[in-house]
Amino acid sequence: MNVYEIVLKELGEACKILDIDPGVYELLREPMRVFTCSIPVRMDDGSVKVFTGYRCQHNDALGPTKGGLRFHPEVDLDETKALAAWMTFKCALVGIPYGGGKGGVKVNPKELSRREIERLSRNFIRALAPIVGPDKDIPAPDVYTNPQVMAWMMDEFSQLKGVNVPGLVTGKPIILGGSAGREEATARGCVIVIREAAKTINLKLDNATAVVQGYGNAGSAAARLLSELGVKVIAANDSGGGVYNQNGFDPVALKKHKDATGSVKGFENCSDISNEELLELECDILVPAALGNVITSKNADRIKTRIIGEAANGPTTPQADEILDKKGVLVLPDILANAGGVTVSYFEWVQNLMHYYWTVEEVNQKLEDYMVKAFKNVYKTYQETEADMRIAAYMVAIKRLDEAMRIRGWV
């Protein structure tokens, strides 16, 4: 199953349990709008290359669409549609007034210079200009895009409009209207949900063990925040390799090692470990924070953890979910566990519209409130039905979308 088929399967299961009107189901199955464009870019050698870009706006019943833009060689339309749908459910689940959007450019940014990436960024937002804006669709950073890319896009759009438009994108540098606390929001939200889940299964976090798969921004921050709660991080990896120490290690020192060398591999007092071995280590908490489809029917029966906190999008396949649920593993699904990023993006957008900015303490407290409430809503649904946590999360989201679409008169 590709990612879009997975989304449709999960949507169908949740709608069936809820006995949702077929019209609502049909509206949620397909995006309301898909935009494809050709992006010409003048390369440093004077030649022109043309890249393909996408933007999918899935559903705006609750508000303007919201979601990241990624630069990646494997960007395609099905993936973009799936990620946009996930954003719709994620925003509805945590109770923020957004629909779901997603986009990207099919490109390997590692093959481009900084100036070429800037031209690509500016030309892409020019192509998207008719369909994006603070009241229409608000992009954000994603895979291989960052605050600098958002700054270029915001600047280009502002020049087109003849007025400063900081609310066009989120994930900007703070000097241009970014929000305090945004950089680690995804990880912080994930750790808040893990903490709440641990309470429900009587897992004491003090000296519990954790494994982090993927040591980028979300993974490294999650490891640090877990360690601050007393959790012992025993393994982590990235695309260059993995490290393991059963006695635990300092996640901050590991991040410094990765920044200095380009990989976690070779970190002091740790042994090497493969990705497959890492996922199957015995631990209390497993945090998949890399790409999707890493926990499948092939390895799910060998997963030895009590809680899985999905910091990444789609790391667990539907077949694996069934196996894990039977084993009693509490899976905190992506649309819940990694919703901290879009929640603080919402805070950034609100601050841009108000021209009034909050401290990091205020941002973190507001994030705490949203994530705790979202977890409680999902866990209550999980306890009251025979659904697993993922389908329970979809049910919470779909009930809100159903209500909004009915009141609007769409069904």
List the catalytic residues: 102
Q: Which residues pair with residue 272 across a beta bridge?
A: 243
Q: Which two tokens stand for residue 146?
A: 């960052």
The residue type of 348 is: E
Closest by Cα among 68, 337, 341 to 179:
341
Q: Which residues pair with residue 139 across a beta bridge?
A: 67
Q: Which two tokens stand for residue 15?
A: 């709608």
CB distance 376 to 196 below 8 Å:
yes
CB distance 263 to 287 below 8 Å:
no
CB distance 186 to 287 below 8 Å:
no
d(CA 165, CA 373): 32
CB distance 131 to 168 below 8 Å:
no
The residue type of 365 is: Q
d(CA 147, CA 86): 22
Q: Which residues pair with residue 41 across a beta bridge?
A: 49
CB distance 305 to 315 below 8 Å:
no
Length of the chain: 411
The residue type of 353 is: L
Closest by Cα among 19, 68, 96, 63 to 346:
96
Q: Which two tokens stand for residue 110?
A: 């590692």
Q: Hey, how many other C-beta atoms are within 10 angstroms of the C-beta on 323?
A: 19
Q: Is 143 exposed, middle or buried (0-12, 13-18, 19+ CB in 10 A)?
A: middle
